[in-house]
Amino acid sequence: MATTEDALLINLRIIGQVKPHEKINAKEKLLAIEAWSWVPVSLSRFWRADNRSVLLRRVVEIIEECKGHCKTCKIGNDTVRLRRFLTHLSQTIPGLLNLRQTYAVDQQSVAHLELLIGKCARAPLSPPL
């Protein structure tokens, strides 16, 4: 079982690895990229009440949680953990760009993803000394 911090880092990594037109299962504690199946992805997502709104809400929660950990690390002067969180946060950008491509027909989702990309891009890549 992953600790809360491990789960956060895993989720950030999953977000960063998503390819264009792939969907993410956001209904579990740990995110997962939808695997190919005989059951269409749209049907399985409908069945478990998972959709882009749920995904975007979870991605926001994950990024905000990471930023909260960064703030705590800065206050506690824990540069090793801070660097790890900032690295994982910046590595989500390619996946967020791919999700933006996936949901290109939904302008609200695109705007939301662009906001998240901006938040991740503004995070400093190295902690202050």
List pLDDT tens digits, range 57-71: 999 999 999 999 999
**Helix (H), strand (E) at residue 82:** helix 79-90
Provide the residue ranges of all domains of the chain, joining segments of one domain with +: 4-122
Report the 10 Å Cβ neighbour count for 83. Answer: 15
Number of alpha carbons in the 13 Å side-chain half-sphere of residue 115? 12
Instruction: With cut-offs at 50, 70 and 90, classify the pLDDT of residue 129.
Output: very low
Among positive and negative, which fits the CA dihedral 125, 3, 7, 60? Answer: negative
pLDDT in tens, 68-84: 999 999 888 889 999 99
Amino acid 81 reads R
* Tokens 């946060």 -> residue: 89
Non-local (6+) Cβ contacts of 2 within 8 A are 10, 30
Non-local (6+) Cβ contacts of 89 within 8 A are 12, 63, 66, 67, 70, 120, 123
- With 50 as the cut, is the pLDDT of residue 105 above it? yes
- With 70 as the cut, is the pLDDT of residue 49 above it? no
